[in-house]
Amino acid sequence: MVRVQRMLDACAELLDEGGYTNLSTTRIAERAGVAIGSVYQFFPDKRAITQALGLRYLDLFTARVRERLSAGGHSHWIQAADAIIDEYLEMHRTVPGFRSLHFGDVVDTRLLDSATENNRVIAARIRTLLTSVAGASESEDLDRAVTVAVEAADAVLKLAFRTEPDGDPRLIEETKILLRNYLGHHFG
């Protein structure tokens, strides 16, 4: 629905401008050009709209990573880690609101799914991409390795963006090396 998309776009813009603490349903309605009742028709509060935005980002990220992985160019699925990091960086730098919200960790560590931490939701999506597109074999070891890889990458990439607005290139490269070495140790 177009109205909902306008509200999500407005939420993204406002997050970039003032962060989550300055976000309100009233400001979202004003920016989207809709009545406040329209916001409440779909979202009970600002948390709900940021959750919808986080889920939209997760779907966009998944689709874009799937496209990158489908294009090939990887002799082994471990090399897909670089493509996943590159897509995250691209979204962080170009998608309105993503820099401020990421996948919702700024708001709530369980924003994407109330029963599961955000990074676990992301790890499950990445594991599915690795098995369905990049040729990895389903296993408990893969589940654990992807979970550790997501947690490690998340921590180092947050550091990279804390030190430089577009991400410290040296820390980004260290993230890729870390993931390739870690995954290569277990699966190479």
**pLDDT digit string (tens) for 94-114?**
999 999 998 888 899 999 999
Count of the separate structural domains present in the chain: 1
The more confident residue out of 76 and 160 is: 160
The pLDDT assigned to 50 comes to 96
Contact 92, 98 (CB under 8 A): yes
Q: Region 26-46: what's the mean pLDDT?
A: 97
* Banded pLDDT at 154 (limits 50, 70, 90): very high
Q: Region 1-16: what's the mean pLDDT?
A: 96
Residue 3 within a domain: no
The pLDDT assigned to 138 comes to 93
Residue 158 within a domain: yes
Residue 127 within a domain: yes
- Distance, in Å, from the CA atom of 167 to the CA atom of 32, rounded to the nearest integer, reads 30
- Distance, in Å, from the CA atom of 7 to the CA atom of 24, rounded to the nearest integer, reads 12
Q: Give pLDDT tens digits for 37-50.
A: 999 999 999 999 99
102 lies in which domain range?
54-187
Q: Region 14-27: what's the mean pLDDT?
A: 96
Residue 75 within a domain: yes
The pLDDT assigned to 187 comes to 85
The pLDDT assigned to 73 comes to 76
The more confident residue out of 73 and 9 is: 9
H-helix segments, 33-165: 36-42, 46-70, 80-94, 98-101, 118-132, 140-163
Mean pLDDT lowest for which of 7-11, 28-32, 100-104, 172-176?
100-104
Residue 181 within a domain: yes
The pLDDT assigned to 77 comes to 84
Q: Report the mean per-residue pLDDT for the chain.
A: 94
Residue 46 within a domain: no
Q: What is the CATH number of the domain that holds 122?
A: 1.10.357.10
- 62 token code pair: 């998944």
Residue 19 within a domain: no
N-terminal to C-terminal alpha carbon distance within the chain: 45
Q: Region 151-155: what's the mean pLDDT?
A: 96
Residue 148 within a domain: yes
Residue 145 reports pLDDT greater than 90 = yes
